[in-house]
Amino acid sequence: MNSKADAVRDSFPQLANIKNKEWVEKIIKIWVEVWDKSAWDGLHDCPYNSLAPEISLVEHVNQVVDGAVDLANQGKKFVGTKIDMDVLLAAGILHDVCKLVEYEPDSDGKAHKSDLGKRYQHGFYGAFKAEAEGFPMAVVQIIINHTISSNEIPNTPEALCIYYSDMCAADLARLDANAPLLVESHK
């Protein structure tokens, strides 16, 4: 296996909990392809957001996935919500893969929006790659709708778990950075 594929596998421990092993290989393939297209040398070099440059994209994705799993488990326990964990995990791990090409380092190594990041809605490129790999609409929909940039809203249990986990992770980072909170747009 090539070293980039190994790095992706090592970076996302929740891959081990996906039952559909074909999906695991497709997720790894997407991350490697997008990383190859990016300007980032290391997978952990890309920050999740320029407002919180100390948080890597990998750390953010793992935080969101673990939070979504916790939300899903609470939904199952208290409400009886049926959750397709493979859909939740695949979409969660892929939800921000596009940031590898939406951001690029400037001469100081800080992240700024790339041309692609300025031209495409956040989430589009990751959803495009997932659809090209044959992921079902349930996964693709979560990737494109996980963001407040989307015109559509998350409307499945798995999508809601990813959305709220992502928004919470983003607002925790924004709070730490003294930046405006996303939740303020809901008031």
Beta partners for 112?
A: 104
Whether pLDDT at 156 is above 60: yes
Q: Which two tokens stand for residue 58?
A: 């990998």
With cut-offs at 50, 70 and 90, classify the pLDDT of residue 132: very high
| Residue 138, pLDDT score | 98
Q: What is the mean pLDDT of the chain?
A: 95
pTM of the model: 0.96
**E-state strands within the chain:** 103-105, 111-113
* pLDDT band (50, 70, 90) for residue 51: confident
**pLDDT at 2 > cutoff 90:** no
pLDDT of res. 124: 97
Greater pLDDT, 184 or 158 = 158
Give the residue-averaged pLDDT of 36-48: 96
CB 122 within 8 A of CB 102: yes
**Above 90 in pLDDT, residue 113?**
yes
Q: What is the mean pLDDT of residues 128-132?
A: 98
pLDDT in tens, 19-38: 999 999 999 999 999 999 99
